[in-house]
Amino acid sequence: MSLAALRPGGEDSKRALARALAKLERDPDSAASQALLDEAWRHPRAAVVGVTGPPGVGKSTLCATLVAAWRKAGLTVGVIAVDPSSKTSGGALLGDRVRITTDAADEGSFVRSMAARDRLGGLADQTLAAMVVMRALFDRVLIETVGVGQSETDVAGVADTVLFCVQPGSGDSLQFMKAGIVEIPHLVVVTKADTGISAEKARRDVAGALSLAGAGPDGWPPRTLAISARSGAGVDALMAALEAHRAHLAQEGRLAIARHRQSEGWVREALRERYGTRGLARLAALGLDAALPAGGQPFERLRELSSLLERPR
């Protein structure tokens, strides 16, 4: 299994990618999976955008709009749709429960649906691995997840740019102000601006709340926008804001720092899941932790630390 066969546009590449991702979910520790992850890790290509927000706010519709806009600009797009409702299945099938609609015949876009399992709240525990593979293949990767509780934080663990959706008149914006959200999104999008309910008021409320919070961890003051996926109003401004954040990350090594932080967080969570807090304590007793050396690869680090913890004492 190598990246070359999975590249968009190649013969049968969509099917090959679906198979590779299924294998990765089924058997993440196999030599083939790890080799694919190693290769993908070394060749990041895409900017990764995470979209979150409560059910019904318009995420799927917005994601379809983003895919169409990127495709029109000549960019290839991979989508990971994290399905919160199916916790039991061991990896949703391609096409299973996919709510975002894209052109199936389009070789330049690909949608993968994943079942949210328990670990990362709303996020499937294999999301990082799927993201890393898709990041090496496409120009943009979009991760859609339902915002319940911690998922803004969760999606920040896999996306470079976090976009949070709120609906005007729904109380979402009030909720937003009260929540004291842990992770400040880079962009807050007020959806359905065509409905006549004041999207602009909701936008101002959120902007007011965010101005008190200041800049997020990468020094980007969050932006708020009102858009209508239905009429297309505000979509260009949203595309421009996404590109602006990407340009911001490209400066002063911010992207590398953010991705490094994500990787360390993932290693820590994966260790906690596998070995519990006792495992982490044992590592600490050995003078080790989840910290990665600069440029370190999380899957490799997990392998190393796992083999230490599994060594008979």
Min dist. Cβ of residue 97 to ligand GDP (A): 12
| 144, 60 contact by CB (below 8 A) | yes
45 binds ligand GDP (CB under 6 A): no
For ligand GDP, the closer CB: 233 or 292? 233
According to CB under 6 A, which one of 56, 95, 214, 217 is a site residue for ligand GDP? 56
Name, in order, each residue with C-beta under 8 angstroms of 212's C-beta and a sequence gap of 6 or more.
none
For ligand GDP, the closer CB: 50 or 53? 53
According to CB under 6 A, which one of 39, 106, 183, 194 is a site residue for ligand GDP? 194
| 56, 223 contact by CB (below 8 A) | no
According to CB under 6 A, which one of 192, 203, 259, 260 is a site residue for ligand GDP? 192
Tokens of 176: 């937003």
**291 vs 307: CA distance, rounded Å:** 16
**111 vs 18: CA distance, rounded Å:** 9
230 binds ligand GDP (CB under 6 A): yes
| 53, 173 contact by CB (below 8 A) | no
Min dist. Cβ of residue 180 to ligand GDP (A): 23
Per-residue interface string for the shown chain with ligand GDP, residues 210-229, x marking contact by CB under 6 A = ------------------xx
Min dist. Cβ of residue 127 to ligand GDP (A): 17
Min dist. Cβ of residue 182 to ligand GDP (A): 21
Min dist. Cβ of residue 139 to ligand GDP (A): 23
Element (H, E) at 95: none
86 binds ligand GDP (CB under 6 A): no
Compute the C-alpha angle 149/115/187, nearest 5°. Answer: 45
Q: HSE (CB half, 13 Å, CA atoms) of 138?
A: 30
**270 vs 119: CA distance, rounded Å:** 9
Q: HSE (CB half, 13 Å, CA atoms) of 125?
A: 19
For ligand GDP, the closer CB: 57 or 187? 57
**307 vs 171: CA distance, rounded Å:** 48
Min dist. Cβ of residue 238 to ligand GDP (A): 12
According to CB under 6 A, which one of 34, 76, 126, 191 is a site residue for ligand GDP? 191
For ligand GDP, the closer CB: 230 or 246? 230
**223 vs 166: CA distance, rounded Å:** 13
For ligand GDP, the closer CB: 173 or 263? 173
According to CB under 6 A, which one of 13, 34, 52, 61 is a site residue for ligand GDP? 61
Min dist. Cβ of residue 251 to ligand GDP (A): 32
195 binds ligand GDP (CB under 6 A): yes
| 206, 222 contact by CB (below 8 A) | no
Strands 140-146 and 223-226: unpaired
The residues that touch ligand GDP, with contacts defined as CB under 6 A, are 53, 55-61, 191-192, 194-195, 228-230
